[in-house]
Amino acid sequence: MCGVSMKFKPIWPLEEFLPLVAFLLPKFRAIFTKSLIESSYKVKWKRALARRRPTASKAEHPTFATAMEFLRVVREIERRSPELRLPVLMVHGSEDRVCDLGSAKAVFGLIGSEDKRLEVLEGTWHQLVAEREDMVEFGFEIIFDWIKERAKRGNCD
């Protein structure tokens, strides 16, 4: 969650007026944006499963207030990244259509920790668990190996 992809953002006038619209219509769904489920779940049966969740209609398109808060959080992450001193692992899909890889790389460069790693998974989208099973296993193997490596050290320094 380091930045919103240009492929996912609404056209510029809508983005410019977002603060006003979020204030006036905070619970109105931003239906002019691309579907989060459609853009995040690569494997069709997993996408269909996500749409059958009881809260799926809320996940499809965020409210204006949620979109506004998301953009605020992205700016806060960028601003505060240099303060991070703990180990950091960022796992990002090369084909992510929701969060921009360029933004992830920029934030990664700002992180203050000396123990940081950015893993870009080729061909993956936004949701690791919504990929083919072999890619899901590969992604979680990276995560678990990274955690185990630090656990062997006995501390986070």
Q: What is the residue whose two structure tokens read 């949701």?
A: 127
pLDDT at 6: 64
CA distances to 16, 49, 129 from 3, in Å: 16, 26, 20
pLDDT at 156: 55
pLDDT at 146: 97
CATH of 12-152, one of 3.30.70.20, 3.20.20.150, 3.90.180.10, 3.40.50.1820: 3.40.50.1820
pLDDT at 22: 78
Dist CA 141 CA 51 (whole Å)? 27
Dist CA 109 CA 83 (whole Å)? 12
pLDDT at 124: 95
Dist CA 1 CA 129 (whole Å)? 16
Dist CA 106 CA 109 (whole Å)? 5
Mean pLDDT for each 10-residue chunk of the chain (157 residues)? Answer: 65 75 79 79 91 80 83 89 95 91 92 96 94 97 96 73
pTM, whole model, 2 decimals? 0.79
Asked if 8 and 39 touch (Cβ cutoff 8 Å), the reply is yes
